[in-house]
Structure 1
Amino acid sequence: MSADETFISHLVELRARLLRVFGGLALGFLPCAYYARELYSLLAQPLLEKLPQGGQMIATEVVTPFFVPMKVAMMTAFLLTLPHTLYQVWAFVAPGLYAHERRLVLPLVFVSSFLFAGGMAFAYFAALPVVFEFITHFAPQGVAVMTDIGRYLDFILTMFIAFGITFEVPVFVVILVHTGIVPLEKLKEIRRYVLVGAFVVGAIFTPPDIISQFMLAIPLYLLYEAGMLVAAFACKSVSAETSAIIRPDRPDAK
């Protein structure tokens, strides 16, 4: 097969995978759109619980009450179909990988989905209540906290993405070590810089209170350490398999 034919076959395969990804998103979006209002009410619960009795949210634009719940439905559909999306990505790149790499990538696909969802859950159940408690507590007397639903969604998405990516740190570490881009020893040497960087990231992506910054920075660093442990174990397993293939053990002498 010529280079042009190979390139075209890759494009056809990419087109098929993309169609499956968008098809999965569309199928996931339909039931989520039906429950869009309930999904937004659930998303707004961490703030509504911290508002004074009778507190509510507002919509400052005409189309906001429709489009904002639809955005929440789309976000929910993306999360529900994330394993399917990542599997399509894996299936596209798998033919170009070695056998031991394929055995590692497929578990990483599902672990990545689980960790991203875990980061969002941590933000929703742990970080957001603390953040909103801090914000509403320091509101001046006589000021009614009535957040626009569109601005609230933007804030929530920022927090979800920040915590979701933070919880992906072990996957990034394993990939860096397994592919040889960064040696494990080098990652161990830069621990102190990672700790400082974790607090910088926490200061950028969270409100200006020390508690929420700690709630992002500490998990980020702990997950970095966990990623190094997993990477060390994975590299030992791959090295053992490679040694067994290159130099099989001799039978014991009698």
Structure 2
Amino acid sequence: MAKKNQGEMSFLDHLEVLRWVLIRSTIAILVGAVVAYNYSDFIFDTIIFGPKSADFITYQFFCELATTYNLDQSFCITELPFTIQNRTMEGQFSMLIWTSITAGFIIAFPFILWELWKFVGPALYEKEKKNIKYFIFLASLLFFIGVSFGYFVLVPLSINFLSNLTISSMVQNQIDIDSYIGLVKSTSLATGLVFELPIIIYFLSRIGLVTPKFLRDYRKYAYVIILIIAAIVTPPDVISQMIVTIPLIILYEISIFISKIVTKNRDAKLA
């Protein structure tokens, strides 16, 4: 029997296609998780617990920066004042499994994008379908840059800030393993997804949910939110805050530019 055209498919047929997209994506994540599991020693000792060490590359960079420009010296540290502990019998096993799955998701991200693209592909123009390889490459690149930015910048800044924040000298920081690893994973993944903002804006602009006027009107509020986040997680100096702020502002401005182009092309086709 000839396969139905996706444009002529019923709602249930679309659900069936989506179900297989989710199944294949899940299998890809599990395959990535198995690969990550085999390298769990490296993932935990070098990657996950890397920002716990005082000689982590980010702390060294900010220390050299602070020394050169006579700024806040809070990153010139010999150790971070907290220990990591496991208080449940299955705690380390649970962290091993979920961390492997998270790593599997990161590894499989380009494949997941490919699957999603195939699902929405029939609703796109022929020119857009031909640009699939550029879309997959760009979206994956933005995601990996975002994950790297979160891991190398936001995670160390957050750990340094939170571990040195004390309400009393009588309180010692003994951090649960799920709290520490949760911070590393959630921050890195969230930043990776935030860096997908231009891609998200492209599709929202294409269906008319977002316009460049809307993004420009709310630009000042977006900037305020970005500056507040940067002020919270960085030391009290301008350079550190700008290192966090500038990439996010650039992403927002790129999103406005993309929305402008998409909206202009859509209006021209409708006319």
TMscore range, shorter length:
0.7 to 0.9
The correspondence for 2:49, drawn from 44, 47, 53, is 44
Matches within 5 A, 1:6-45: 6-41=10-45, 42-45=47-50
Aligned to 2:114: 87
Task: Please state how far the C-alpha of 1:242 moved relative to its aligned partner.
Answer: 5.6
Aligned to 2:188: 160
My pick for the range that moved more, 54-63 or 164-173, is: 54-63
Matches within 5 A, 1:43-192: 43-49=48-54, 52=79, 56-103=83-130, 107-139=134-166, 144-192=172-220
On the 8 A contact 1:115/1:167 being kept in 2, the answer is yes
Q: Which amino acid aligns with 1:6?
A: S
How many corresponding residue pairs?
240
Q: Find the structure with the greater CA-based Rg.
A: 1
Q: Tell me the TM-score normalized by structure 1.
A: 0.75
C-alpha distance in 2 between matches for 1:107 and 1:96: 18
2:174 aligned counterpart, secondary structure = coil
Q: Tell me the TM-score normalized by structure 2.
A: 0.71
For residues 93-136 of structure 1, give each alpha carbon's deviation from its aligned partner in whole angstroms, at most 9, with x where no partner exists.
Answer: 21122224434666344423222221221121122222333334
Task: Please state how far the C-alpha of 1:88 moved relative to its aligned partner.
Answer: 0.7
Distance 1:38 1:235, change over 3 A: same
CA RMSD of aligned residues (A): 3.7
2:85 aligned counterpart, secondary structure = coil
Segments of structure 1 that go 5 or more residues without pairing to the other structure are: 247-254
On the 8 A contact 2:85/2:174 being kept in 1, the answer is yes
Task: Please state how far the C-alpha of 1:56 moved relative to its aligned partner.
Answer: 4.3
Segments of structure 2 that go 5 or more residues without pairing to the other structure are: 55-76
Task: Please state how far the C-alpha of 1:171 moved relative to its aligned partner.
Answer: 1.9
On the 8 A contact 1:25/1:81 being kept in 2, the answer is yes
Task: Please state how far the C-alpha of 1:207 moved relative to its aligned partner.
Answer: 5.3
Distance 1:33 1:132, change over 3 A: same
C-alpha distance in 1 between matches for 2:153 and 2:97: 25
My pick for the range that moved more, 101-110 or 221-230, is: 101-110
Q: Which amino acid aligns with 2:224?
A: V
Residue identity (%):
24
1:147 aligned counterpart, secondary structure = strand
C-alpha distance in 2 between matches for 1:91 and 1:27: 20
Task: Please state how far the C-alpha of 1:69 moved relative to its aligned partner.
Answer: 2.1
For residues 47-99 of structure 1, give each alpha carbon's deviation from its aligned partner in whole angstroms, at most 9, with x where no partner exists.
Answer: 23367389742111111121112211111110010111111111012112222
